[in-house]
Amino acid sequence: MKLYEIAAFLGCSEIKDSIEITGMNTLRDASEGEISFLSDSKYEKELFDTKASAVILPASKIHLLPFGVVALTSDEPYMLVAILSKQFAKPVQSSTVSPVIGEGSCIYPTAHIENGATIGKNCTIMSGVYIGSEAVVGDDVILYPNVSVYRDCKIGNRVMIHAGSVIGSDGFGYAHTKLGEHVKLYQNGNVIIEDDVEIGANTTVDCAVFGSTIIKQGSKIDNLVQIGHNCIVGEYSILVSQSGLAGSTTLGRNVVMGGQSATAGHLSIAPFTTLAARSGVTKSIVTKGVYSGFPLMEHKIWLKMQAKLAKILES
Amino acid sequence: MKLYEIAAFLGCSEIKDSIEITGMNTLRDASEGEISFLSDSKYEKELFDTKASAVILPASKIHLLPFGVVALTSDEPYMLVAILSKQFAKPVQSSTVSPVIGEGSCIYPTAHIENGATIGKNCTIMSGVYIGSEAVVGDDVILYPNVSVYRDCKIGNRVMIHAGSVIGSDGFGYAHTKLGEHVKLYQNGNVIIEDDVEIGANTTVDCAVFGSTIIKQGSKIDNLVQIGHNCIVGEYSILVSQSGLAGSTTLGRNVVMGGQSATAGHLSIAPFTTLAARSGVTKSIVTKGVYSGFPLMEHKIWLKMQAKLAKILES
Amino acid sequence: MKLYEIAAFLGCSEIKDSIEITGMNTLRDASEGEISFLSDSKYEKELFDTKASAVILPASKIHLLPFGVVALTSDEPYMLVAILSKQFAKPVQSSTVSPVIGEGSCIYPTAHIENGATIGKNCTIMSGVYIGSEAVVGDDVILYPNVSVYRDCKIGNRVMIHAGSVIGSDGFGYAHTKLGEHVKLYQNGNVIIEDDVEIGANTTVDCAVFGSTIIKQGSKIDNLVQIGHNCIVGEYSILVSQSGLAGSTTLGRNVVMGGQSATAGHLSIAPFTTLAARSGVTKSIVTKGVYSGFPLMEHKIWLKMQAKLAKILES
C-alpha cells in the first residue's frame, strides 16, 4: 500500500508520498517501509531514532520526528492505528505451498495443517489439532487433541501442549470511539514457544499486536492459564492453573505464579520471584522474593496482616 | 404431550385435561400451550397475567392463578420442573434438512454443520468447528478452530469467535433431592450473539434454561470468560480474561469487567459501570461508577481502605 | 525393564538384581514387581508394609525397608522418580485392537476413537471428540463436540461432558534441578468419572501421577473448572464455574464450591461443606459448615469481619 493511499484512507489526504508501506510496527521495532505511531507520550523518546518511514502522531509531536520520516497527524492516533491495522491483517490462509512434515511425524487424519506450515521430525499431531499458515513446529513435539495454533506461531523442540489449548489467538485490543464503540486493533504478531516448554489443557496464549508473545525455554504452564498479548515468560517459569498475565507483562526467569494469581499489564517481574496463590500484582517487582495478597505485599507482611486482622476481629 | 399425561408423569393424576402442551417456559414468557411454574415466591406477581395453560405451584398459591389456567400442585415445584424438563429436552439432531451455506462462505472439511443449521455469506468456519441443529450464523462471521455452537443458537453479522470457545452449553441448574442428589434441569433455551461481537479463546457462554442468554451488539469478551445461563451482556461491554457472570445477571451497556472479576447471579449492573480487576459483585449496582474489591465498594473507598489497613499494619 | 537396568539408568549401578519391574507406584499402592519411592518423610510409615519390589529413597532410610525390598539410594529421590517416570510413560497409541462400540451408539465421523478403547451402548460421541487408547466409556453417555478423553480414563454411565472439556491431561508435576530446570514427572495414572456425573464446558480434569483422579457419582461440575491430579471429588458434590482444586485434595460427599473458589493441594474437605464463591482453602476442613474468604473462615465470622472493617474505615 502506498503511503498516500494510507494517508487518504485515514483522512490525511495532504500526504502525497508514494513510498510503499509494507507493515505496521512499534516505534522501536519498525524498519524502513513500515508505519508506526505515538499514542502514549511515555514512548515519546522512541521517536528520535525510529526507523519507521511514517508515523501517526499528534501534531504537537511532529518536531520530535527524525528528518525524513513522514508525519500523519491526528488527535486520536490510536484510533487511526486500529482502523489501519485491518488493512494489514493477514488472511487465515496465505500460502499455496503444501505443508512440510518432517520424518517420523504422525499427523492424525482429522488434524488440519494449513499450507505454508512446517512440522519438524518425530512429532505427534493429534486429532482435531489446527496449525495455521506459516506456523513452524520443531522436532519431537506433541500436540494433544484439539490444540489450535494460529498462523505464524513458532513452536520449539520437545514442546508438549495439552488438549484444547490455543496458541496465537488475537490479543484483546481496541480503540474506543467517543460513542463507546470498540474498534478492533488487528493483532498482526505471533507467539514464540521455545524448547522444552509444556503447556497444560485449555490454556490460552494470545499473539502479539506487533512482534511476539514469547514463552521462554523450559517454562511450564498449567491448565486454564491466560497469557495476554506481548507478554514474555522467562526461562523455567512456572504458572499454576487459572493464573493470568495481562498484556505486555514480562516475567524474569524462574518466576513462579501460584494458582489463580494474576498480574496487570505492562509490568516487569524480577527473576526468581514467587507469587503466592491468588496474589494480584499491580506494580512491577524489582526485588525477588515471595509475595502474596491483593494488593500485593511481601508474603511475611501478608501473614502479619492476617494476624492483626484476626486480633481486631476478636476485640 | 397431553396435559393429563404430564400430570400423571408428575404424580398429579387427578388432572384429566387433554390440552396439548408444547413446551415449558417462565410465567412471564409462557404462551398458550405452554406449562410454567412458581418455585420462588418473588415471582408470585407474575402469576396474575401469565399466558401459560398450566402452572406447577404450591397448593397455597392456587387462588392467584388466572381463570382457566390449570394448576398442578406440589410441595416441590422446582423438582417437578426439573423432572419434566427432560421430556421437553431437544435432541442433538432434529432436522433432516441439509444445512444452508451462504455464498462465499468457506467451510473447512472437518467442521461439522448439523442439518437444519444456516450459515450466512462470506463466513469462515474453520477446522473442528461444530454448529448445531437449527443454529443460525450471520454474514462475515469467522469461527476459529474447534469452536462449538450448540443447537438453536443465533450468531449475528461480523462476529468473530476465537478457538475453543463454546456457545450454548447447558446452564448449571439442578433441583436437589432430600438425599442430596441433583436432578438436572434441562436447558432448553439458546444463546443470541448480536452483530460485531468478538469472543476470545476458550470462553464459555451457557444457553438459557428458557429463553435466551444474550450478548448484545459490539461487546468484546476476552479469553476464558464464563457467561452463565440467562445473562444479558449490554451493548459495547468489555469482559476481560477470566471474568465470570453467574446466571441471570444483566449488564447494562458499556459495562467494563476487569480480569478475574465476577458477579453473583440475578443481579443488574448499571450501564457504564467499571468493575476493577478481581472485584466481586454480590448486589445489583444502580449507580454507574468505578467499583473494586470483594465485598465490592467504590474504587476510591477501596483505595482509602487499603491505606487504612496499611496504617493499622504499621502500628 | 530389569531392576539392574533401572538402577544403572539412575546411576545406582551397584544393584545387580534382575527382577522384572513392570511399573512405578506409591508406597501404599505398589504391588510386587513395582518400584516405589520415598521423597517426603511424612510417608515414611508407609515404608513398613509396602509391597514394592524396590524403593528409591535416601540412604538414611534404608533401615526402615521391609526385608527383601531392594533399596536404590539417592539424595534426590524425587528427581530419580521423575527421570524414571519417562521410561514407564505409556505411548499415546498402544493397541491394535479396533475400538468396541456398543449397540445404539452414534459416533460422529470426525470423532477419533483410538484402538483399544471401549464405548458402551446408546452413547453420542460428537464431532471432534477424542477417546484415547484403553479408555472405557459406559452406557448412555453424551460427549459434546471437541471433548478430549486421554488414554486409560474410565467414564461411567449416563455421564454428560460438555464441549471442549479435557479429561486425563497430564497433572502438573516436576522435579527441579539445582539450576532451576524442571524435569517432568510423567503422569501414568488415569481419571475415573463415575455414573451420573455432569461436567461443563472447557473444564479440565488431570490424570493421576499414579492411581486415579476420581469424580464420584452424581457430582456436577460447571464450566472452566480445574481438577488437579489425584483429587477425589465426593459423591453429589457441586463445583461452580472457575473453581479449582490443586493436586491430591479430597472432597467429601455433597461439598459445594462456589464460583472462583479454590483449594490448595493435599487437603481433605469434610462432607457437606459449603465454600462460598471466591473462598480459598489452605488447610483441611474437619467440620462441615459454610466457609468464606481467603484466608478461609466460617462464613458468619467473615460477615462479622467485613462489618468491623467497614467501621474502621468510617472512623
Q: Which CATH number applies to B100-300?
A: 2.160.10.10
- Read off the pLDDT of each residue in C162-173 and give the average, rounded to a whole number: 98
Nearest CB to A166; choose among B108, B109, B162: B162
> Do C277 and B264 count as a contact with CB atoms less than 8 A apart?
yes
Angstrom distance (rounded) from CA C159 to CA C142: 7
Is pLDDT at C314 greater than 80 in this prediction? no
Q: Which residue of A has its CA nearest to C307?
A: A313
**B122–chain A Cβ distance below 8 A for any pair:** no
**A202–chain B Cβ distance below 8 A for any pair:** yes
> Do C202 and B166 count as a contact with CB atoms less than 8 A apart?
yes
- Read off the pLDDT of each residue in A249-267 and give the average, rounded to a whole number: 98
Query: Are A203 and A225 spatial neighbours (Cβ–Cβ below 8 Å)?
Result: yes
Angstrom distance (rounded) from CA C132 to CA C149: 6
Note the pLDDT tens digit of each residue in C97-129.
999 999 999 999 999 999 999 999 999 999 999
> Do B180 and C224 count as a contact with CB atoms less than 8 A apart?
no
**C285–chain B Cβ distance below 8 A for any pair:** no
First to last CA, chain C: 71
Q: Which amino acid is at B89?
A: A
Nearest CB to A260; choose among C128, C262, C305: C262
Residues in chain A: 315
- Read off the pLDDT of each residue in C167-187 and give the average, rounded to a whole number: 97
Cα angle B302, B303, B308 (rounded to 5 degrees) comes to 95
Q: How far is B106 from chain A (nearest CA, A)?
A: 11
> Do A144 and C280 count as a contact with CB atoms less than 8 A apart?
no
Query: Are B239 and B220 spatial neighbours (Cβ–Cβ below 8 Å)?
Result: yes
Q: How far is the CA of C173 from the CAs of A78, B206, C70, C191, C206, in angstroms?
A: 43, 32, 26, 16, 11
Is pLDDT at C300 greater than 90 in this prediction? yes
- Per cent of chain A over pLDDT 70 is 100
Is A112 one of the annotated active-site residues of the chain? no
The residues, any chain, with a CB within 8 Å of residue A185's CB and separated by 6 or more, are A81, A82, A85, A171, A173, A174, A175, A209
pTM here is 0.97
Q: How far is A127 from chain C (nearest CA, A)?
A: 7
Going by CATH, does the domain composed of B3-88 fall within 3.40.1390.10?
yes
Q: Do domains B3-88 and B100-300 have the same CATH topology?
A: no
Angstrom distance (rounded) from CA A52 to CA A72: 12
Is pLDDT at C31 greater than 90 in this prediction? yes
> Residue C220: its chain B contacts at CB < 8 A?
172, 174, 182
Q: What is the DSSP letter of C311?
A: H
Q: For residue A18, how many other CB atoms are within 10 A of its CB?
A: 9
One of C112, C162, C229, C266 is an active-site residue; which one?
C229
Q: Which residue of C has its CA nearest to B127?
A: C128
Mutate: best of A169, A241, A243, A257, partner C, most C CBs <10 A: A241
3-state secondary structure C167-229: EEECCCCEEECCCCCEEECCCCCEEEECCCCEECCCCEEECCCCCEEEECCCCEECCCCEECC
Under 8 Å CB pairs connecting chains B and C tally to 127
Q: Which residue of B has its CA nearest to C255?
A: B180
**C161–chain A Cβ distance below 8 A for any pair:** no
Alpha-carbon dihedral sign for residues A292, A293, A297, A301: negative
Residue A59 phi/psi, 5° resolution?
-55, -35
> Do C260 and A260 count as a contact with CB atoms less than 8 A apart?
yes
The residues, any chain, with a CB within 8 Å of residue A314's CB and separated by 6 or more, are none
Angstrom distance (rounded) from CA C275 to CA C263: 10
Confidence label for A176 from pLDDT (cuts 50, 70 and 90): very high
* Helix B299-314 × helix A299-314 angle, to 10°: 90
Angstrom distance (rounded) from CA A173 to CA A185: 5
> Do A162 and C164 count as a contact with CB atoms less than 8 A apart?
no
Is pLDDT at A308 greater than 90 in this prediction? no
Cα angle C78, C84, C89 (rounded to 5 degrees) comes to 120
One of B63, B162, B182, B229 is an active-site residue; which one?
B229
Q: Which residue of A has its CA nearest to C176?
A: A236
**A113–chain B Cβ distance below 8 A for any pair:** no
> Residue B251: its chain A contacts at CB < 8 A?
none
Note the pLDDT tens digit of each residue in C12-29.
888 999 999 999 999 999
Partners of residue C315 on adjacent β-strands: none
> Residue A145: its chain C contacts at CB < 8 A?
112, 128, 130, 148
> Do B202 and A206 count as a contact with CB atoms less than 8 A apart?
no
Query: Are B169 and C163 spatial neighbours (Cβ–Cβ below 8 Å)?
Result: yes
Kindly list the partner chains of chain B, i.e. chains with 3 or more CB atom pairs below 8 Å.
A, C
Q: How far is A116 from chain B (nearest CA, A)?
A: 16
Q: Which amino acid is at A46?
A: E
- Domain spans, chain C: 3-88
**B238–chain A Cβ distance below 8 A for any pair:** yes
> Do A241 and C228 count as a contact with CB atoms less than 8 A apart?
yes
Under 8 Å CB pairs connecting chains A and B tally to 124
Least confident of A275-284, A302-311, B56-65, B183-192: A302-311
Kindly list the partner chains of chain A, i.e. chains with 3 or more CB atom pairs below 8 Å.
B, C
Return the closest-CA partner of residue C149 out of B274, A163, A228.
A163
Residue written as grid cell 469434610: C270
pLDDT per residue as tens, chain B (315 positions): 999 999 999 998 889 999 999 999 999 999 999 999 999 999 999 999 999 999 999 999 999 999 999 999 999 999 999 999 999 999 999 999 999 999 999 999 999 999 999 999 999 999 999 999 999 999 999 999 999 999 999 999 999 999 999 999 999 999 999 999 999 999 999 999 999 999 999 999 999 999 999 999 999 999 999 999 999 999 999 999 999 999 999 999 999 999 999 999 999 999 999 999 999 999 999 999 999 999 999 999 999 988 888 887 777
What pLDDT, on the 0 to 100 scale, is given for residue C313? 75
Is pLDDT at C139 greater than 80 in this prediction? yes
What pLDDT, on the 0 to 100 scale, is given for residue A168? 98
Q: Which residue of B has its CA nearest to C309?
A: B305
**B180–chain C Cβ distance below 8 A for any pair:** yes
> Residue C92: its chain A contacts at CB < 8 A?
124, 126, 142
Exposure of A86 by Cβ count < 10 A (0-12 exposed, 13-18 middle, 19+ buried)? exposed
- Read off the pLDDT of each residue in A283-300 and give the average, rounded to a whole number: 96
Within 182-201 of A, beta carbons closer than 8 Å to B belong to 182, 184
Is the interface score ipTM higher than 0.85?
Answer: yes
Nearest CB to A164; choose among C202, C294, C304: C202
> Do B182 and C146 count as a contact with CB atoms less than 8 A apart?
no
Give the three-state DSSP class for C82: helix
Q: Which amino acid is at A278?
A: R
What pLDDT, on the 0 to 100 scale, is given for residue B312? 78
Q: Are strands B280-281 and B274-275 parallel, antiparallel or unpaired?
A: unpaired
Instruction: Say how far residue C233 (Cα) sits from the centre of its chain.
Output: 10
Read out DSSP for A148-159?
EE-TT-EE-TT-
